[in-house]
Amino acid sequence: MVRQIFISHSQEDELIIEFFLGTFGLAGPITPILYEYKTKTEPDWQEIQRDIQSPLTCALFVLLGPRILFDEYNRRKQHTPNWITWETGIARQAGKDIWVFEDYNTPVDFPIPSFDHYMRYNIGSKDHRVYIANRINDYRILLRVRQIRKLTEAAILLTCPCGISFYYHNAEKSLICPKCKEYMEFP
């Protein structure tokens, strides 16, 4: 039985998608689930909901990128932010781990209301790619031993004044909270 991770993203953030698909290729037998819509046909929300809620789905990855909010002509998008918010809500309701990934070079001013893990990465960093691949692979291993310690041993647990607690997977001692978008510093 192959496990899967649902990817919430903008299809126009092609470099980010390429980076993560390559990272899944390093991780082993966990399938990324991405929906791409190139036509004006509405996506099947029931199919997406079933995929997120599936027992095979162990997590949802939110890939924050510059095309979540604006298209290539700098016009504000309406649908992508709504889909991402809806998908994270379904994942939270289903008890799935929610990861937020944000490229150091393209921060996005888009709040994520609920998540468990946050990592900033550099799309050109082999170390970041390997770290993410190891976390993906941990899900394959963890599903056998039923423990979460491996996912969090390289992270620190933070609590923002806005009330959200999450695991932070970077060494820096400051960040912008992905939920409230306020600056945080910690020891």
At the fourth CATH level, the homologous superfamily of domain 3-185 is Response regulator (3.40.50.2300)
pLDDT in tens, 96-128: 999 999 999 989 989 999 999 999 999 989 999
What's the pLDDT score for residue 26? 83
Rounded average pLDDT over 51-70: 89
Cα–Cα nearest to 28, from 52, 2, 10: 2
Least confident range from 1-5, 75-79, 98-102, 108-112: namely: 75-79
pLDDT band, residue 141 (cuts 50/70/90)? low
Q: What is the length of the chain? A: 187
Residue 166 Cα distances to 64, 82, 98, 181, angstroms: 17, 22, 10, 14
Selected residue with higher pLDDT from 168 and 70 = 168
Flag whether pLDDT at 39 surpasses 60. Answer: no
- Structural domain boundaries of the chain? 3-185
pLDDT attached to residue 40: 46
The predicted pLDDT at position 10 comes to 85
Quick one: which of 119, 123, 122, 124 has its CA closest to 136? 119
Query: Is the pLDDT assigned to residue 72 strictly greater than 70?
Result: no
Rounded Cα–Cα distance for residues 167 and 148 (Å): 12
Query: Mean pLDDT throughout 60-65?
Result: 94
